[in-house]
Structure 1
């Protein structure tokens, strides 16, 4: 597997993605230190909960890294246009380069992106044909991690048994309530925002409409017949194997639309 890195030089984007990474780092450090490890050491929770939290955290970070560094589908300066597809290409009036239809020019990145959905400052990258599936994964795993964090913060005060082996002089022990309140606040904000974004992205994928096309009031009738939800997601993720839809550390290959979708487990 060969993963090519793609970076966008944008100070504002670097600030936004640093904030997202900071929220992830805060919860990944304080939630295990204040909740998971103390209750595991005293036998209140099984090891599986600790492992599941770190798996969710790791997948969220992997999806963030891949979505922010993957090439969204940037068009080369001198693209090779097959003779049979020339009627489906057009000239960009901003960079004066040929591009396939449904491509758009990103003013922040300064180039055209195939089937561009939008430019997301929170990943400092465009969301296009080649990394849309990674952005969808990021929204999903951010929801899972945020909900997991909220449940643990709630259980710390209303469900778990009181801890007996705490050192009252430690900073985390003396400021536990404030630290967990901050964690819960970030969890609510992230869960609400990611749920709304995930729903928006899913409806766009299933209707075969990008965010830019929705804003421009394009009709999806010009792009062909309506696709099944399985084929629509398989086309975005680059594989018909459903289990691979959730794995960020892999490469994506375009599917041949002439093949019918077959369900895989």
Structure 2
């Protein structure tokens, strides 16, 4: 499956995405300037920790950009229904187009998405079959980056040796305490929110249930066969190689999902 760029024309979504980008820029610019780089220059921390911070920041940004512009699984206007699978397709009552079961019509985007989990304004895109793995990586690396920044903020005041070389003419140095208080509050808020979202996403994958299916109460847990968690994660990430689940630079190759396991929306 080739990579298709997907843009959602939604001013509200653009504003939410801009907020996330600004938060990322704030953390990547301010935390190293105040804490990481000065302590590295004075020999308090090794260079590996600096590389790790920027590595997490790059992985987080790549996952954000790709989750935002990747086609989540939008169905074409005239889909080709494979022979022998017509019974697993249904007619959408909103756009009057055929779609596979477990698809959902997004009212904000105006089209059906395969195995749609939800529409996320923070990435200005639906979370569906083709970009769900990127959304999971975004949650994962945001948690790591935020936790890493909070750890450095704590160590800066309670563990590291005091900095000797400080340029008091810099604005961020003169207002360091206020900036770090704001950064800590922002980090804790992000960490709590992302942790809750990431947890619900993991539970949904383990139980092979989307957020929309949970809200519609359409899943019959007794009659529906349960897949092993390795299989459900492999289907979402498009590979059985677990190390590749953490790489946002690769191209996803979808694994075929047996329809007899499917939930119906």
- Normalising by structure 2, we get a TM-score of 0.94
Provide closer, same or farther for how the CA distance between residues 36 and 223 of structure 1 changes in structure 2, counting only shifts above 3 A: farther
What residue number does 1:225 align with? 225
Equivalent runs, 1:191-230 vs 2, <5 Å: 191-221=191-221, 224-230=224-230
What residue number does 2:15 align with? 15
Equivalent runs, 1:162-201 vs 2, <5 Å: 162-201=162-201
SS in 2 for 1:251: coil
What residue number does 1:69 align with? 69
What residue number does 1:47 align with? 47
**CA contact 1:116–1:212 (8 Å) conserved in 2:** yes
Provide closer, same or farther for how the CA distance between residues 113 and 227 of structure 1 changes in structure 2, counting only shifts above 3 A: same
What residue number does 2:250 align with? 250
**CA contact 1:204–1:210 (8 Å) conserved in 2:** yes
> What is the count of residue pairs matched by the alignment?
258
SS in 1 for 2:85: helix
Any gaps of 5 or more consecutive residues in structure 2?
259-265
Distance in 1 (alpha carbons) for counterparts of 2:58 and 2:220: 37
Deviation at 1:16, TM superposition (A): 0.2
What residue number does 2:134 align with? 134
Distance in 1 (alpha carbons) for counterparts of 2:227 and 2:94: 32
Distance in 2 (alpha carbons) for counterparts of 1:140 and 1:251: 18
Deviation at 1:172, TM superposition (A): 1.4
Provide closer, same or farther for how the CA distance between residues 219 and 200 of structure 1 changes in structure 2, counting only shifts above 3 A: same
- Normalising by structure 1, we get a TM-score of 0.94
What residue number does 1:112 align with? 112
What residue number does 1:97 align with? 97
Provide closer, same or farther for how the CA distance between residues 129 and 106 of structure 1 changes in structure 2, counting only shifts above 3 A: same
Provide closer, same or farther for how the CA distance between residues 45 and 114 of structure 1 changes in structure 2, counting only shifts above 3 A: same
**CA contact 1:208–1:220 (8 Å) conserved in 2:** no
Deviation at 1:219, TM superposition (A): 1.2
Q: Which moved more, 1:194-203 or 1:221-230?
A: 221-230
Distance in 2 (alpha carbons) for counterparts of 1:169 and 1:115: 54
Q: Alpha-carbon deviations, 1:157-208, whole Å to 9, x = none? A: 1111001111112211101111111111111011111110000000001101
SS in 2 for 1:126: strand
Q: CA RMSD in A?
A: 1.4
Distance in 1 (alpha carbons) for counterparts of 2:177 and 2:57: 22
Deviation at 1:223, TM superposition (A): 8.3
Distance in 2 (alpha carbons) for counterparts of 1:75 and 1:223: 28
Q: Which moved more, 1:166-175 or 1:133-142?
A: 166-175
Deviation at 1:256, TM superposition (A): 3.5
SS in 1 for 2:179: helix
Q: Which moved more, 1:178-187 or 1:11-20?
A: 178-187
Provide closer, same or farther for how the CA distance between residues 8 and 222 of structure 1 changes in structure 2, counting only shifts above 3 A: farther
**CA contact 1:67–1:134 (8 Å) conserved in 2:** yes
